[in-house]
Amino acid sequence: MRLAAGLDFGTESARLVLVDVETGAEAATVVHPYPHGVLTRALPDGTPLAGDWALQHPGDYLAALEHLLREAVRIAAGGAIVGIGLDCTASTVLPVKRDGTALCLLPEYAGQPHAWVKLWKHHAAQRQADRINAMRPPFLDLYGSRTSSEWLHAKSLQMLEEAPQIFAAADRMIEAGDWLVWQLTGHEVRSVCQAGFKAHWQPEDGYPPAALLAGLHPAFPSLLDKLGPPRPVGTRAGGLTAAWADRTGLREGVPVAVAVIDAHAAFPGLGVDGPGTLVMVMGTSTCHLLLSRARVPVQGISGVVADSVLPGFYCYEAGQAATGDALEWWVRTLAWAGDGPAEALFDRLNREAADLSPGAGGLVAVDWWNGSRTPLVNADLSAVMAGLTVGTTPAEVYRSIVEATACGTRQVIELFEAGRGIEPVTGLRVCGGLSRSTVVMQIYADVTGRTLHAAATPHASARGAAVYGALAAGSAGGGYNAPEEALARMAAAGFTAYRPDPAAHARYADVYALYREMHRHFGEGGTDLLRRLKALHT
Amino acid sequence: MRLAAGLDFGTESARLVLVDVETGAEAATVVHPYPHGVLTRALPDGTPLAGDWALQHPGDYLAALEHLLREAVRIAAGGAIVGIGLDCTASTVLPVKRDGTALCLLPEYAGQPHAWVKLWKHHAAQRQADRINAMRPPFLDLYGSRTSSEWLHAKSLQMLEEAPQIFAAADRMIEAGDWLVWQLTGHEVRSVCQAGFKAHWQPEDGYPPAALLAGLHPAFPSLLDKLGPPRPVGTRAGGLTAAWADRTGLREGVPVAVAVIDAHAAFPGLGVDGPGTLVMVMGTSTCHLLLSRARVPVQGISGVVADSVLPGFYCYEAGQAATGDALEWWVRTLAWAGDGPAEALFDRLNREAADLSPGAGGLVAVDWWNGSRTPLVNADLSAVMAGLTVGTTPAEVYRSIVEATACGTRQVIELFEAGRGIEPVTGLRVCGGLSRSTVVMQIYADVTGRTLHAAATPHASARGAAVYGALAAGSAGGGYNAPEEALARMAAAGFTAYRPDPAAHARYADVYALYREMHRHFGEGGTDLLRRLKALHT
């Protein structure tokens, strides 16, 4: 039996899936939660964090990596692990020494918040993102004209300005996924997926140039010395080091693939091999991915990068910053006074929400519980809900949040389709935690008017990572050389179809019009009330 | 010992307070909940009710009346009950036969929703109110240019149009308070307070004229045959009938005062005897009352009526349709998943909200959980909350609701003060359930920038009713002839003062500006989104 290992480093935990290279069968999956989770209030030593911060502990990643690979060996039980693929949240970045040592793991930096891993949803660099955007640099043409506070440049500039000694001490600034590949192979190998989507790297121009960085801070051009050229996704980064072979029981030299952004790994995981199908990874946030043969400007997208998923295609990425997160906020709110399990509350809300009609009892909301990613790329925005009455029920609020996020997705589709040359979106293929809610899925089908296929597998990204692991091995190493062959053998097979109900879709035309009006008013220049509101609070 | 009985018929229960006429001491208070509460989903026989309906069972009133008066006799224990005063929610109206029999208590009408008591917060007559307002009749000059869906004309027109046979069968259309006085005395005696504030009666013109009513429906002028001239508040309506003396143990002929609106009874109850002090009755909704020597148009007030509370003054009334109701909605929402007592949730929310700063964690809301009474008189409006994030806590939402209602009160004060000739508002005197929350009271002081006095007594209105009972008795009957004398002896004495914190008040200037912006946008012509949203739901 030949197995490929897919490792998926998410926001709260890491997961392993072992996929049979020939049959696509899952030999096993294992999940390992991060002991420190997301650090939002304080460092492990108690150092307090300001609002909007979100850090992680790189030791959690290493512990997960070791545990999951040992489990892989145990479960393979003598079968061959031909290759390892690895996906990770992004832009989740950390400062490291030249030898790869994370600064925060050195005693002299352990009490410095900027020495730690800044998780993708660290939103404290909005000011820096605003200043980059205010310069209107040409490289942003491929990124919806805006960089995000979540991305590498804003986060690095925040570090330089708030903790220059950490910035100076960092020999390299690196994505967590690339750092993990470095750990496994002993070599720094970066991914075109991470570099392209989160650090504005493009094949023609490389990273944003020194002259531009100098305009933000005189020392900022040295960021270029802390980066490095990326390699295409689906290629081999290197072989497993002796040290990691020792730690895990794997043989030395097992091929390790170049890292990939977690959401993007869903493409091969879901078996999507070309344009026309929007891939949606719906977890705490939603990532929308679309392949196309054309590269054109699209308003408000997160980016478009060539060959970052499959050779020969541009991959467009858009996103919504809070989907599952917004629903979890509501469940957490409702659980405040009780002591029941969140799972049971979700079930009850889904059940009651399914009995409601479009418009959720006269509520409409804009879905900015964590700011807006696409199309406004603005973390200062917050959600607005209209239509509350003394008769409003918890299930109505829940459904209105679902509907708001579905309207956000419809808006993303319309933005893509407004881009000349991009092939029409005829279907949606969905994975991630939210895809397990039938009411959520049906609302998305009804709001968008498109048939939606929800993957049966709860770990499409990890499976996609395994596909990349098989490609890193190559046919000589027991894997594959051709991506289409790997996809045909190893992609997920089971899907549940949700077809739009014409009457509900018609009704949602009205709801969507109200959503768009609120979106325009509060987000597109109608008023700056939300900005003033946020300023009042901070 | 000479005692006056004050009866207060509220939304959920009726209450008795016995006040010593000489010392003002409370001999006792008794509360009697209505067994049927508020009927919003179905009649007692199961007949379903449409949305926005809110009815009551007149049998509940009678049972409470009998129980409370028997208790009065028992507690007085031989002491003299010199007079009975009675206040009631308004406009709470019912159709009755010529002899005072409520239509809904006759078997042939018991299954007809329109035969029952329409509680003040029955909001299903908005369409009718809109049509009256569209005529712009001159009589509305004294009512903020708008009639309310809550008032007698809208409710009666709804009855005529939806159940003409009930309208025809109703010999009289009467306020519940006036109907209770009728029960006790055997004579139909209406109050200038109810007629003036809820049926547009004015001494110069009487009720709105037949010609105008005919413009709404050919049969509507017959409404005038179902009404009757009102008498001043503070006068004697009649003496207790032999039948009620039998039922209760009181002596026949005990003087019964003309009824008064529950909120208005708080004036004598709180000892306010002139202009400059805004009386706020804060329960499920808030009623703002202000005396003045001037009668001028004020935008959006509910009404202004002469001699309806104290002789020689105009009384202005304004209101907010949901204050305690909005907070209770939030507590009910939080209790959905738990099983703890609401009281404990209120305590916890008040405690946590007290630790927050103005702006409630970056939230701002407009307080239309039950539509807007003053200044927009529009039940189609609903609340809007802006600033929600995944970090928003239950206490922040709670505080933002309190702040929104406090901003609504500040707006009412500014409307009053914009009326030329109305004396400046220098203080606030508060009673009702919400006055027991120190955090709510302090927020009101800080938002309005005025010192607020919260009454220690939890039943200022019932005490005020007792004052009217003593006035009905007159000095010959063991009570008083002069209102100022009755007030001096019998008004509530204990108050807690809340003084505005200058820093908090300054900060609230920003919050109030945001509130006003949302108020303008969603309520004053910026958008009709809330109307469209409501239309979508119904």
The whole-number pLDDT of residue B90 equals: 95
The whole-number pLDDT of residue A538 equals: 64
Chain B CA closest to residue A322: B390
DSSP conformation class of A93: E
Contact criterion met (CB < 8 Å) for B337 and A397: no
Shortest Cα–Cα distance, B84 to chain A (Å) = 35
Residues of B in contact with A529 (CB under 8 A): 364, 386, 514, 517-518
Strand partners, A383: B388
* Interatomic CA distance for residues B262 and B260, integer angstroms: 6
- Between A and B, how many CB-CB pairs are < 8 A? 159
Longest dimension (CA), chain B: 67
A16, burial (CB in 10 Å: exposed 0-12, middle 13-18, buried 19+): buried
**Vertex A463: Cα angle to A457 and A469 (nearest 5):** 170
Chain B CA closest to residue A393: B333
Q: What are phi and psi of A13, to 5 degrees?
A: -160, 165
A505-A510-A513-A514 Cα dihedral, nearest 10 degrees = -130
B474-B27-B279-B314 Cα dihedral, nearest 10 degrees = -10
Contact A416, A294 (CB under 8 A): no
Q: What are phi and psi of B394, to 5 degrees?
A: -55, -40
* Interatomic CA distance for residues A63 and A72, integer angstroms: 14
The whole-number pLDDT of residue B197 equals: 96
Contact criterion met (CB < 8 Å) for B338 and A333: no
The whole-number pLDDT of residue B380 equals: 87
- Taking Cα atoms as reference points, which of B385, B324, B325 lies closest to residue B530? B385
B8-B11-B12-B16 Cα dihedral, nearest 10 degrees = 0
A362, burial (CB in 10 Å: exposed 0-12, middle 13-18, buried 19+): buried
Number of neighbours of residue A351 by Cβ within 10 angstroms: 11
Contact criterion met (CB < 8 Å) for A390 and B382: no
The whole-number pLDDT of residue B360 equals: 78
Q: What are phi and psi of B267, to 5 degrees?
A: -55, -60
Q: Return the residue in B11, B389, B527 with the most chain A beta carbons within 10 A, the one to mutate for interface testing.
A: B389
Contact criterion met (CB < 8 Å) for A322 and B522: no
Which member of A387, A394, A536 has the closest CB to residue B333? A394
Side-chain-side CA neighbours of residue B3 (13 Å): 25
B422, burial (CB in 10 Å: exposed 0-12, middle 13-18, buried 19+): buried
Residues of A in contact with B522 (CB under 8 A): 386
Shortest Cα–Cα distance, A117 to chain B (Å) = 21
- Taking Cα atoms as reference points, which of B351, B333, B331 lies closest to residue A331? B333
Which member of B336, B522, B536 has the closest CB to residue A359? B536
Chain A CA closest to residue B530: A387
Shortest Cα–Cα distance, A394 to chain B (Å) = 6
Contact criterion met (CB < 8 Å) for A529 and B511: no
Contact B379, B52 (CB under 8 A): yes
Segment B303-321 mean pLDDT: 91
Q: Exposure string (b/e) for B315-327, b if CB count within 10 Å is 16 or more? A: bbbbbbbbbbbbb
Contact criterion met (CB < 8 Å) for A511 and B536: yes
- Residue B398 structure tokens: 């709670």
- Taking Cα atoms as reference points, which of A27, A83, A91, A196 lies closest to residue A465? A83
Residues of A in contact with B340 (CB under 8 A): 337-338
Kindly list the structural domains of chain B, giving each domain's residue range(s) and its CATH number in brackets, ordered by start: 2-262 (3.30.420.40), 269-459+481-538 (3.30.420.40)
Contacts with A165 (C-beta within 8 Å, 6 or more apart), sequence order: none
* Interatomic CA distance for residues B317 and B290, integer angstroms: 7
| ipTM summary value | 0.84
Shortest Cα–Cα distance, A151 to chain B (Å) = 20
Please provide the size of chain A in residues.
Answer: 538
**Start-to-end Cα distance in chain A:** 57
Radius of gyration in angstroms for the set of CA atoms belonging to chain B, rounded to a whole number: 22
Shortest Cα–Cα distance, B92 to chain A (Å) = 20
Contact A412, A321 (CB under 8 A): no
* Interatomic CA distance for residues A290 and A423, integer angstroms: 9
Which amino acid, residue B28?
A
* Interatomic CA distance for residues B441 and A48, integer angstroms: 33
Strand partners, B176: none
Residues of A in contact with B320 (CB under 8 A): none
Residues of B in contact with A326 (CB under 8 A): 390
Chain B CA closest to residue A333: B394
Residues of B in contact with A530 (CB under 8 A): 386-387
Quote the distance between the C-alpha of residue A317 and its chain's center: 10
The whole-number pLDDT of residue A62 equals: 98
Positive or negative, the CA dihedral A498, A504, A509, A510 is negative
Segment B107-115 mean pLDDT: 97
Contact criterion met (CB < 8 Å) for B388 and A394: no
Q: Return the residue in A389, A517, A538 with the most chain B beta carbons within 10 A, the one to mutate for interface testing.
A: A389
Number of neighbours of residue B133 by Cβ within 10 angstroms: 19
Query: Tens of pLDDT along chain A (538 residues)?
Result: 899 999 999 999 999 999 999 999 998 899 999 999 999 999 999 999 998 999 999 999 999 999 999 999 999 988 899 999 999 999 999 999 999 999 999 999 999 999 999 999 999 999 999 999 999 999 998 998 889 899 999 999 999 999 999 999 999 999 999 999 999 999 999 999 999 999 999 999 999 999 999 999 999 999 999 999 999 999 999 999 999 999 999 999 999 999 999 999 999 999 998 899 999 999 889 999 999 999 988 878 989 999 899 888 999 999 999 999 999 999 999 999 887 788 899 999 999 999 999 997 899 999 999 999 899 988 889 999 999 999 999 999 999 999 999 999 999 999 999 988 999 998 999 998 899 999 999 999 999 999 999 998 888 999 999 999 999 999 999 999 999 999 999 988 889 999 999 999 999 999 999 999 999 999 999 999 999 999 887 6
Quote the distance between the C-alpha of residue A29 and its chain's center: 20
- Taking Cα atoms as reference points, which of B2, B199, B176 lies closest to residue B96? B176
Residues of A in contact with B391 (CB under 8 A): 51
Contact criterion met (CB < 8 Å) for A335 and B337: yes
Contacts with B80 (C-beta within 8 Å, 6 or more apart), sequence order: B1, B2, B3, B478
Q: Which secondary-structure segment (H or E) carries B52? A: none
Residues of B in contact with A361 (CB under 8 A): 537
Strand partners, B174: B94
CA distances B266 to A446, A531, B133, B309, B454, Å, are 53, 42, 30, 10, 12
Q: Return the residue in B123, B390, B400, B537 with the most chain A beta carbons within 10 A, the one to mutate for interface testing.
A: B390
**Vertex B118: Cα angle to B114 and B123 (nearest 5):** 100
Strand partners, B31: B15
DSSP conformation class of B138: G
Contact A226, A123 (CB under 8 A): no
The whole-number pLDDT of residue B70 equals: 97
- Residue A436 structure tokens: 């397990």
Contact criterion met (CB < 8 Å) for B388 and A383: yes
Shortest Cα–Cα distance, B327 to chain A (Å) = 9
* Interatomic CA distance for residues A190 and A227, integer angstroms: 9
Residues of B in contact with A363 (CB under 8 A): 533
Which member of A370, A514, A536 has the closest CB to residue B529? A514
- Residue A318 structure tokens: 């858009």
Q: Which secondary-structure segment (H or E) carries B288? A: strand B286-292
Segment B61-76 mean pLDDT: 97
Strand partners, A292: A314
- Residue B85 structure tokens: 């005063």
Q: Sorting pLDDT into bands at 50, 70 and 90, what band is B538?
A: low
Three-class DSSP category at A282 = strand
Which member of A334, A370, A385 has the closest CB to residue B390? A370
Chain B CA closest to residue A121: B390
* Interatomic CA distance for residues B139 and B152, integer angstroms: 14
Chain A CA closest to residue B345: A337
Contact B135, B154 (CB under 8 A): no
Contact criterion met (CB < 8 Å) for A517 and B510: no
**Start-to-end Cα distance in chain B:** 57
A396-B283-A332-A408 Cα dihedral, nearest 10 degrees = 40
Contact criterion met (CB < 8 Å) for B517 and A510: no
Q: What are phi and psi of A79, to 5 degrees?
A: -65, 160
Residues of A in contact with B519 (CB under 8 A): none
Question: How would you write A4-42 as a 3-class SS string?
Answer: EEEEEECCCEEEEEEEECCCCCEEEEEEEECCCCCECCE
Q: Find the range with the poorest average confidence among A203-212, A488-497, B98-107, B394-403.
A: A488-497
The pLDDT tens digits of the residues spanning B215-274 come to 999 999 999 999 999 999 999 999 999 999 999 999 999 999 999 999 999 999 999 988
Contact criterion met (CB < 8 Å) for B334 and A339: no
Token match 């799972």: residue?
A343
Segment B362-386 mean pLDDT: 94
Residues of A in contact with B508 (CB under 8 A): none
Side-chain-side CA neighbours of residue A113 (13 Å): 22
pLDDT score of B537 more than 80 = no
Helix residue spans in B302-423 (DSSP H)? 324-335, 342-354, 394-417
- Residue A308 structure tokens: 């970052």
Three-class DSSP category at A304 = strand
Which member of A370, A383, A388 has the closest CB to residue B369? A388
Which member of A369, A388, A533 has the closest CB to residue B514? A533
